[in-house]
Amino acid sequence: MASFLTSKSFKPHVFPSVFLLVSFLLLLFYTLQRISSPSHTAPLRSRNAPATAAAAAEAEAEAEAQRLFLSLSAGANSTIAGHLRELTRNPHLAGTPSASTVAAYVLSQFRLAGLKTLTRDYSPLLSYPAAASLSLFSARGDLIKAFPLSEPADPESRTVPPYHAYSPSGSTLAPAVYVGYGREEEYGELDRMGVSVKGCVAVVRSGRGYRGAAVERAARKGATAVLMFGAGDGGGVERGMVMLRGVGDPLTPGWAAESGDGEVERLGFEDEELRRRFPTIPSMPVAVETAAEILRTLGGPPVPHEWKEGLGLELGGVGPGPTLVNFTYQEDRRLATIQNVFGVIMGHEEPDRLVILGNHRDAWTYGAVDPNSGTAAMLDVARRFGILMRSGWRPRRTIVLCSWDAEEFGMIGSTEWVEQNLGNLGFKAVAYLNVDCAVQGPGFFAGATPQIDDLLSEVTKQIKDPDLEHKSLYETWVAENGGISIERLARADSDFSAFLHHAGVSSVDMYFGKESPVYHTSLDSFIWMEKHGDPLFHRHVTLAEVWGLLGLRLADDAVLPFNYLSYAAQVQDHTSALGALLDDGISLQAINRSLLQLTAAAKEVQCAAEKLRKGKTEEDGLGELHRRAFNDRLVLAERGFLEEQGLKSRRWFKHVLYSPPEDYESKFSFFPGIADALSRRKKNSGIDVTKEVQHEVWRAARAIQRVASVLRGDIPWSS
326 binds ligand NAG (CB under 6 A): yes
Active site residue 407: yes
Considering the complex, state which of residue 491 and residue 532 has its C-beta at the smaller distance from ligand NAG.
532
CB of 537 to ligand NAG, least distance (A): 5
* In contact, 508 and 454? CB cutoff 8 Å: no
Q: Rounded to the nearest 5°, which phi and psi values hold at 593? A: -65, -45
**Residue 373 C-beta: closest distance to ligand NAG, Å:** 13
- Cα atoms found within 13 Å of the Cα of residue 44, Cβ hemisphere only: 12
Residues 6+ apart with CB under 8 A from 578: 588, 670, 671, 674
Q: How far is the CB of 368 from ligand NAG (least distance, A)?
A: 14
Shortest distance, position 76 Cβ to ligand NAG, whole Å: 8
Query: Does the protein bind ligand NAG through residue 28 (CB under 6 A)?
Result: no
Contact code string over 124-163 relative to ligand NAG, x by CB under 6 A: ---------x------------------------------
Of residues 426 through 485, those in contact with ligand NAG by CB under 6 A are none
**In whole angstroms, how close is the CB of 344 to ligand NAG at the nearest point?**
29
Among positions 69-98, residues that touch ligand NAG (CB under 6 A) are: 77-78, 81
> Strand pairing of 125-137 and 324-335?
antiparallel
In the complex, what is the shortest distance from the CB of residue 79 to ligand NAG, in angstroms, rounded to a whole number?
A: 9
Residues constituting the chain: 719
Nearer residue to ligand NAG within complex by CB, 535 or 585 = 535
| Catalytic pick among 186, 407, 604, 618 | 407
In the region spanning residues 534 to 553, those forming contacts with ligand NAG, defined by CB under 6 A, are 536-537
CB of 145 or CB of 593, closer to ligand NAG:
145
- If the CB atoms of residues 81 and 675 are measured against ligand NAG, the closer one turns out to be 81
Question: For ligand NAG, which is the closer residue by CB, 372 or 506?
Answer: 372
* Residues near ligand NAG (CB under 6 A), total: 9
Q: Can you tell me the distance from the alpha carbon of 448 to that of 456, in angstroms, rounded to the nearest whole number? A: 9
Residue 173 is a binding residue for ligand NAG (CB under 6 A): yes
State the binding string over 392-411 for ligand NAG (x if CB under 6 A, else -).
--------------------
Query: Any bridge partners for residue 117, and if so which?
Result: 343
**Cα–Cα distance for residue pair 1/495, rounded to 1 Å:** 19
Residue number with CB closer to ligand NAG (260 or 535): 535
Asked whether the beta carbons of 641 and 658 are under 8 A apart, the reply is: yes
Residues 328-347 that bind ligand NAG (CB under 6 A): 328
Positive/negative CA dihedral, 349, 355, 359, 362: positive
- Spatial distance between the Cα atoms of 366 and 364, rounded to a whole number of angstroms: 7
Which is closer to ligand NAG, CB of 328 or CB of 462? 328
Nearest CB to ligand NAG, comparing residues 220 and 531: 531
Q: DSSP letter at 320?
A: -
Q: How far is the CB of 173 from ligand NAG (least distance, A)?
A: 5
Q: Which of 309, 45, 39, 324 is nearest to 201 (CA)?
A: 324
Residue 536 C-beta: closest distance to ligand NAG, Å = 4
**Whether residue 279 has a cis bond before it, omega within 30° of 0:** no
Q: How far is the CB of 132 from ligand NAG (least distance, A)?
A: 9
Sequence-separated (6 or more) residues with CB below 8 Å from residue 205: 180, 181, 182, 228, 229, 230, 307, 311
Q: What angle do CA 415, 419, 425 make, to 5 degrees?
A: 105
Q: Work out how close the CB of 670 gets to ligand NAG at its nearest, in angstroms, rounded to a whole number.
A: 40
Based on DSSP, count helices (H) and strands (E) in the chain, helices before strands. 23, 18
Question: What minimum distance in Å lies between the beta carbon of 361 and ligand NAG?
Answer: 22
**Is 465 or 692 the residue whose CB approaches ligand NAG more closely?**
465
Residue 118 engages ligand NAG in binding (rule: CB under 6 A): no
CA angle 528, 534, 539 (to 5 degrees): 150
Q: Please, which residues have CB within 8 angstroms of residue 53's CB and are 6 or more apart in sequence?
A: none
Alpha carbon dihedral 513, 517, 520, 522, in 10-degree steps, equals: -120
Does position 631 interact with ligand NAG (CB under 6 A)? The reply is no
Q: How far apart are CA 348 and CA 3, in angstroms?
A: 16
CB 157 within 8 A of CB 150: yes
Q: Rounded to the nearest 10 degrees, how much is the dihedral formed by the CA atoms of 19, 23, 25, 30?
A: 160
Q: CA neighbours within 13 Å on the CB side: how many for 708?
A: 21
β-strand 350-360 against 125-137: which pairing, if any?
Answer: unpaired
Closer to ligand NAG by CB, 327 or 342: give it: 327
Cβ proximity to ligand NAG: between 536 and 577 the closer is 536
Q: Is 263 exposed, middle or buried (0-12, 13-18, 19+ CB in 10 A)?
A: exposed
Report phi then psi at 2, rounded to 5.
-55, -30
- What residues are annotated to the active site? 407
- Site of interaction with ligand NAG (CB under 6 A): 77-78, 81, 133, 173, 326, 328, 536-537
